[in-house]
Amino acid sequence: MTDKIIVLTGAGLSAESGLGTFRDEGGLWAQHRIEDVATPEGFARNPQLVHDFYNARRAQAAEASPNEAHVALAELQARWSGEVVIVTQNVDGLHEAAGGVALHMHGRLTGALCNACDHRWEAPMTMAPDDPCPACGARATRPDVVWFGEMPYHMEEIATHLASCMLFASIGTSGQVYPAAGFVQEARLAGAETVELNLEPTDISRAFAQRRFGTASQVVPDWVAGLLG
Ligand code: APR
């Protein structure tokens, strides 16, 4: 058993930075249909609608600042005696803006991907269906984010970490989307301590040995201070 800590983060971590969550009152999935803006089928049907959705989120994320929770997690990564692996479902860059490092299992708003040749590059602020791929020239560019029905990124690496961590924390996620919602079970099977930090109880709260409820900017710095002594 190592002194490795795995932290899974979700949209609730960035809520106090002004970025909308998905399933809270008035959240993104109340404003847009998932099947229209977050599936390969929706993109094939109307790529302009999908680019508009991600262009708006990319612009909003570019204006957002990390909050005390992002900063506390970056401090944990810097000062903890062992490895701290942040696995984020978020596509914003706020972990990095706070000085942290994260595995983006659902991709990043700042990434662009060519559907024709799999080339990846830094996305311009505004993407459009007719943008040519810088590598192959095909007009098949998309945001490098993972849509429903697609395989999340870094899954093998994440499984390896979950099998060898001493502590698994889930922060600001409703635990309704797999495979992320199943990580706590994998960590428990490996003998890890588990804690959920969230605004309110979730569908997976009972899977955690410990639960702390409140806003991320309050409960996360307290939790990190407790770990760092
Ligand atoms: N502090 C802490 N938690 C908060 C805060 C806050 N200020 N505000 C909201 N939350 C909590 C909510 O209670 C909820 O449990 O954050 C969670 C957000 O849940 P979702 O909106 O479902 O977001 P998330 O769990 O990250 O969604 C997972 O679903 O749609 C896909 O790809 C998308 O990555 C996303 C995935």
Q: If the chain, 229 residues long, is cut into consecutive pieces of 10 residues, what is the mean pLDDT of each piece?
A: 90 98 95 96 97 97 98 98 98 98 98 97 97 97 98 98 98 97 98 98 98 98 97
Q: How far apart are CA 120 and CA 33, in angstroms?
A: 27
Active site residue 104: no
Residue to substitute in 68, 199, 208, 220 for testing ligand 1 pocket (most ligand atoms within 8 angstroms of CB): 199
71: which strand partners? none
In terms of pTM, does the model score above 0.95? yes
Q: Which amino acid is at 130?
A: D
Nearest CA to ligand 1 atom 5: 12
The catalytically annotated residue of 106, 119, 154, 161 is 106
Does ligand 1 come within 6 angstroms of the Cβ of 174?
yes
Q: At what angle do helices 216-228 and 68-79 cross, to 10 degrees?
A: 20
Nearest CA to ligand 1 atom 17: 173
Does ligand 1 come within 6 angstroms of the Cβ of 146?
no
Residue 1: predicted pLDDT: 52
Q: Is 217 helix (H, G, I), strand (E, B) or coil?
A: helix
Q: Which two tokens stand for residue 163?
A: 């099998």
CB atoms within 10 A of CB 190: 16
DSSP E strand boundaries for 115-177: 120-122, 141-145, 167-171
- Identify the CA nearest to 170 among candidates 129, 108, 213, 119: 213
Q: Which amino acid is at 105?
A: M
Q: How far apart are CA 94 and CA 100, in angstroms?
A: 8
CB 8 within 8 A of CB 87: yes
- Domains of the chain (ranges; CATH) run 1-18+66-106+152-229 (3.40.50.1220), 20-63+109-145 (3.30.1600.10)
Residue to substitute in 16, 94, 148, 198 for testing ligand 1 pocket (most ligand atoms within 8 angstroms of CB): 198
